[in-house]
Amino acid sequence: MNAQMTLRARSIAIAAAALALMLSLFGVASGATAHGGDIQLNVGQDGTGKIMMDAVYLEDGHQVEEIMDAYMTAVSATGQEVGPIRLVSGEFGPYTWATPDPALLEGPWTVTVSTTRPAVASTTIDIDIVEVESVPDTNSPGYQAPTGFEWMLPVGIAVAGAILIALIVIIVVRMRAKRSAT
């Protein structure tokens, strides 16, 4: 009978550990993906006349990863108007939008970028377009190259939580087994 109780206790401990692992994984993932609210548009240029933009949520500072409908308009110091031009994603990295072609000539410009998705936002900046010989890859506004290890923290927390819960369950099961054996 003691062997049956040990087998039953082990089965309960394994099931509890598996359940704790699943709950901690889903709990961490849902918290990490929850976004919403107002956004801030970060606007810049690449030095060739292209306008670039990325966006972050004001509440948590996380980058906006949803599809956006961003448009750019600009007015030069001489009164020349450009746009609206739809910004497209991809060329300067994930979650960065830009004009598909150089849109502005050399000189000072007042640029406005607006979007209505995932939230209504608009930003106006003054920039000078200056011809450059080469453009480094690192001048995207607010863009930080992913290291590839962003997933490790939430997974590590989930695994540590699951191990802690499993240890607590094992200790409780062993204590109850000792009590019932005496």
| pTM > 0.75 | no
- The residue among 36 and 78 whose pLDDT is bigger is 78
141 to 20, 32, 52, 71, 147: CA distances (angstroms): 41, 23, 7, 16, 18
Which residue reads 């989930």 in tokens?
158
Let me know whether 68 and 124 are in one domain. Answer: yes
Let me know whether 48 and 23 are in one domain. Answer: no
- The residue among 34 and 85 whose pLDDT is bigger is 85
Let me know whether 43 and 124 are in one domain. Answer: yes
Which residues partner with 74 through β-bridges?
A: 82, 111
**pLDDT at site 175:** 86
Host domain of residue 163: 2-34+150-181
Let me know whether 43 and 125 are in one domain. Answer: yes
